[in-house]
Structure 1
Amino acid sequence: MIDGSEPQIAVITGGTTGIGLATARRLLSRNYLVAVFSQRQESVEAARDELAKEFGTERIFARPVDLAMPAQIEAFFVALGARWGTPHALVCNAGVSPKGTDGATPFNEIQLKEWNEVLAVNLTGAMLCCQAVGPAMMERGFGRIVMIGSVAARTRPKIAGASYVASKAALSGLTKSLVTNYAPFGITVNVVAPGRILTNMAGEPDTPTNRAALAAIPAGRLGQPDDVAAVVEFLISHEAGFVNGAVVDVNGGEFLPL
């Protein structure tokens, strides 16, 4: 177990927009070293420049990575290790949710290509990232892993398609297995399940979909990325060492698993 005096390194997948970027900003403000990646080079560059203006360049590590490409995941963690060492925390935030002009693909029309692509990013990519950091966390005797799930995997989905819902639900199963494997080594693994959060994926607030979502939220507002980032910050902290295998719902009361 480490004492917290050494610099803490956090990796955030999909860390260049939305929840991931808000988490990166929050952790940088708490003096973490933060590594982010996403698939698009322009998104990586924009996030890197934005964060560098606020926090300087020395605590930011940003690279383009396609989670569907295992070799790119491996190369990212090798490069990160050469620069800073192995991470103390991993936030598996990256996800894709295919939608057309009429919303998600109806179940009977889902093609195997879409199904495989969503699971490759949302589930298999998360698994590969855990494999990349797990052994070093075990050796260190400390680690924090947070999966970003979804309210769509916690209750009857209203907006998301079956491929997305299945991938996010599977993260909970993966988490259970990781708790069994990693808990004896001081590593915690938890899930944060956001509700309707105002990100690029959710679109503009004043759309029919978001107005309908708002009507179902007792808190009376749609979520902001920092609502989720605040929970992630706690779960990767030393203080959260006895929170393990939990699913934390961040949805304004839309879903109540009581």
Structure 2
Amino acid sequence: MLASLEGRTVIVTGGSKGIGLGLARRFGEAGLDVMVVSRNLSEAETAAAGIGPKAFGFAADVSDAGAAEAMATACLERTGRIDILCANAGIFPAAKLDEMTAADFDHVIGVNLRGTFLSVKACLPAMKAARKGRIVLTSSITGPITGYPGWSHYGASKAGQLGFMRTAAIELAPFGITVNAVGPGNIRTEGLDELGADYIAKMAASIPMKRLGSVADIANAALFLASDEAAYITGQMLVVDGGQILPESLGALEAMDA
């Protein structure tokens, strides 16, 4: 059982829906003050209201340096501390290479990778002053481990997060700050639902557990990485995918049922 995190503060970027909302809810259940960050203030405040009185919303585009700094400042003004950052904000518009524009590529890298860097940088002064902190990135199996047509820009951003993570973990270790990532497989969210029932069925068929993951699966992993029990873990990605990356081919799954 994890030691209580009650009384600490977590910032969850991209926290108004999908995995981010699951993260925010789970940390709220654990008794933390939760800053729910979204580009849309109304969505952030609605999500926070559903979590409880210790949660509050804030609007920020984390790809903008000034907005990321304002986010950290507002959190400190409200709670006096930043103990945990869940750098979760991310987008995944599909575009194959022959259709993708430079602007498409830059937009995904800007939100997913630049946004991670700016969010971390904004929270560092408070964490360094406390000489303790937990940074948890929402990466993916797509990019660091696997690929999928239409998501080369997304995969590049998620692989880039891990490169950033490893050096950041070295630099921040002397301050008692850990930097880790969760690598979700296919998780059932609103965004995934938009890809259609056929896509979902095909993905489930390629997973040894024969089902997609839930946002709670990711949130529980993030909560562990943010805990005192994970104090000696840094620079690592915890894959949460129901075994999706394990089979060498669909034939391996067919053999399992034979």
Please report the TM-score for the alignment, with normalisation by the length of structure 2. Answer: 0.89
1:111 equivalent in alignment to 2:106? no
Distance 2:134 2:45 in 1: 27
What is the aligned counterpart of 2:122 among 118, 127, 132?
132
1:15 and 1:94 in contact (8 A); partners too:
yes
Distance 1:160 1:114 in 2: 11
Q: Which runs of 4+ in 1 moved over 3 A?
A: 3-6
Aligned to 1:87: 82
1:97 and 1:160 in contact (8 A); partners too:
no
Distance 2:227 2:26 in 1: 13
2:64 and 2:118 in contact (8 A); partners too:
no
Distance 1:156 1:239, change over 3 A: closer
When the two chains are superposed, the root-mean-square deviation of aligned CA atoms in Å is: 2.0
1:23 equivalent in alignment to 2:18? no
* Superposed displacement of residue 159, structure 1: 5.1
1:150 and 1:168 in contact (8 A); partners too:
yes
* Superposed displacement of residue 187, structure 1: 0.8
1:173 equivalent in alignment to 2:168? no
Distance 2:23 2:218 in 1: 8
Aligned to 1:212: 202
Distance 1:136 1:46 in 2: 27
1:115 and 1:163 in contact (8 A); partners too:
yes
* Superposed displacement of residue 160, structure 1: 5.0
* Superposed displacement of residue 139, structure 1: 2.1
Paired positions, count: 246
Distance 1:5 1:91 in 2: 15
Which string of whole-angstrom CA distances, capped at 9 and with x for unpartnered residues, describes residues 1-56 of structure 1? xx9788211111011111111111111111111111111233213212322xxx2x
Distance 1:166 1:209 in 2: 22
Amino-acid identity (%): 34
Q: How does 1:95-244 map to 2 (within 5 A)?
A: 95-98=90-93, 104-158=94-148, 161-203=151-193, 207-244=197-234
Distance 1:149 1:76 in 2: 21
Q: How does 1:59-98 map to 2 (within 5 A)?
A: 59-98=54-93
Which string of whole-angstrom CA distances, capped at 9 and with x for unpartnered residues, describes residues 219-242 of structure 1? 111110000000000000111001
Distance 1:185 1:217 in 2: 39
* One-letter amino acid of the structure 2 residue matched with residue 87 of structure 1: I
* One-letter amino acid of the structure 2 residue matched with residue 65 of structure 1: A
1:198 and 1:204 in contact (8 A); partners too:
no
Distance 1:42 1:5 in 2: 27
Distance 1:144 1:159 in 2: 33
Distance 1:169 1:60, change over 3 A: same
Which string of whole-angstrom CA distances, capped at 9 and with x for unpartnered residues, describes residues 190-211 of structure 1? 1110000011111169611111
Distance 2:4 2:219 in 1: 20
Mean Cα displacement is larger for which, 217-226 or 200-209? 200-209
* One-letter amino acid of the structure 2 residue matched with residue 37 of structure 1: V
Which string of whole-angstrom CA distances, capped at 9 and with x for unpartnered residues, describes residues 172-199 of structure 1? 0000111110011111111110000011
1:143 and 1:186 in contact (8 A); partners too:
yes
Which string of whole-angstrom CA distances, capped at 9 and with x for unpartnered residues, describes residues 127-182 of structure 1? 01111111221221111001101111233312551111100100000001111100
Aligned to 1:101: none
* One-letter amino acid of the structure 2 residue matched with residue 229 of structure 1: A
Distance 1:183 1:71, change over 3 A: same
Please report the TM-score for the alignment, with normalisation by the length of structure 1. Answer: 0.89
Distance 1:256 1:85 in 2: 44
Distance 2:37 2:125 in 1: 21
